[in-house]
Amino acid sequence: MQTHLPALADDADVGVEKDHIVTRDGKADFRFTGTLLASAAPDRAKDGHWQEYRVYQTRAGKHVFSKVNRTIYAAENDTYEAEVFDPAPSTMPSQLLRGAREIARARPLTWMDAAVSFFGYDPLAKALYRKLSVGFEELIT
């Protein structure tokens, strides 16, 4: 049985700059001032579970990707994952990702590449990408 889900509580915050705290399991949470660019969640909870995806842009130009795995069951906990993409190659993970991507595609890693790496291409991720209004499709010529 599927349960109909309400809209996300922060849907009205899309495009509004404000202070955010993005929760992560097993790591420090992210706190920043920025804008929620897009969020996506299914309209139904199959088997009592669903995911929520969000993309933020910080005031400093970084992008934060958030994935929340929700459950309706009291015996289970929601889980939280998040990553930050820094366009400046000042951090070691950013440098490593850029190096591998440049070798593979001869172009620098973009926040869109990092989003695809984090969210993948499941149906919810594709819905998120459409809300972002950016080209995540693979161009075939």
Report if residue 36 sits inside a domain: yes
pTM for the model stands at 0.81
| Average pLDDT, integer, range 47-73 | 95
For 21-55, write each residue's pLDDT tens digit. Answer: 999 999 999 999 999 999 999 988 888 899 999 99
Q: How many domains does the chain have?
A: 1
Query: What whole-number distance in Å separates Cα of residue 32 and Cα of residue 54?
Result: 14
CB atoms closer than 10 angstroms to residue 41:
21
**Domain boundaries, position 69:** 2-132
The verdict on residue 69 lying in a domain is yes
Residue 139 lies in a domain: no
User: What length is written for the chain?
Assistant: 141
Work out the pLDDT band at 3, boundaries 50, 70, 90.
Answer: low
141 inside domain: no
- Chain centroid to Cα 104, Å, comes to 23
Looking at the domain assignment, is residue 137 inside a domain? no
Q: Which of 86, 109, 107 is nearest to 98 (CA)?
A: 109
pLDDT recorded at residue 1 = 43
Instruction: Report d(CA 81, CA 67) in Å as an integer.
Output: 5
